[in-house]
């Protein structure tokens, strides 16, 4: 059974409305409304209104199931044209045509023609290379079952004996010996300087 709805004097040019209507023919009403909601065209809103009106007419006036409705045809006819003008170069009138259109949506019930999708879609088969081997799957399962190690579970390393004091003692004994060596070198340098001064004084005499 065919049910139709009309929308007259829509302020959109018929050429723009036909671009939308051409893509919606022979589609279920629910899918057509979803397609209109995602179309980047202003005429899609006017077409969606007519489709909803035809769906409501079929459901309320003829007791048809809305899930079985399919769009049989959407006709777009030109309506009256509003002629306006705009002054352009040299004071001449440039004509502007504001076109209108009449949209007619025809809906038909086709029981069983609308294919409803199942709740869970089947998964695509995976390629053989990416499939895990049984051994790898068992290793992953074992790793998942083993609990994660914590700080208390980690083995504690044995404490090393302290050698800092034993090393500090010889270093302390070496310090005074080095001090004595530096003092001896200083005294030798002073004696040499004194000898040089004596030889200079003798030469000067």
Low-confidence ranges of the chain (pLDDT < 50): 166, 168-169, 172
pTM, two decimals, is 0.56
The pLDDT assigned to 140 comes to: 81
CA distances (Å), 93 to each of 52, 90, 134, in order? 42, 9, 83
The pLDDT assigned to 42 comes to: 95
Task: Supply angle C-alpha 137, 140, 141, rounded to 5.
Answer: 85
The pLDDT assigned to 14 comes to: 97
The pLDDT assigned to 136 comes to: 77
- CATH classification number, 2-109, choose in 3.40.50.12500, 3.10.180.10, 1.20.1430.10, 3.90.470.10: 3.90.470.10
The pLDDT assigned to 204 comes to: 60
| HSE (side-chain half, CA atoms, 13 Å) at 135 | 0
Burial per residue of 2-37, b for 16 or more beta-carbon CB atoms within 10 angstroms, e otherwise: ebbbebeebebbbebbeebbeebeebbbeebbebbe
Q: Where are the domains of the chain?
A: 2-109, 169-205
């Amino acid at each position: 059974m065919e049910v139709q709805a009309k929308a007259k004097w829509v302020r959109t040019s018929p050429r723009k409305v036909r671009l939308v209507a051409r893509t919606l023919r022979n589609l279920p009403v629910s899918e057509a409304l979803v397609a209109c909601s995602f179309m980047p065209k202003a005429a899609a809103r006017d077409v969606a209104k007519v489709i909803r009106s035809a769906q409501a007419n079929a459901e309320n006036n003829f007791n048809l199931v809305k899930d079985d409705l399919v769009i049989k045809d959407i006709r777009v006819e030109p309506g009256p044209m509003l002629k306006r003008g705009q002054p352009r170069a040299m004071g001449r009138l440039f004509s502007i045509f504001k076109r209108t259109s009449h949209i007619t949506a025809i809906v038909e019930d086709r029981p069983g023609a609308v294919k409803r999708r199942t709740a869970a879609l089947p998964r695509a088969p995976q390629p053989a290379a990416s499939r895990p081997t049984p051994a790898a799957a068992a290793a992953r399962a074992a790793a998942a079952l083993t609990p994660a190690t914590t700080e208390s579970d980690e083995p504690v390393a044995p404490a090393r004996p302290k050698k800092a004091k034993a090393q500090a003692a010889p270093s302390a004994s070496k310090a005074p010996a080095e001090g004595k060596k530096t003092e001896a070198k200083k005294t030798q340098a002073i004696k040499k300087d004194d000898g040089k001064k004596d030889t200079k004084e003798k030469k000067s005499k």
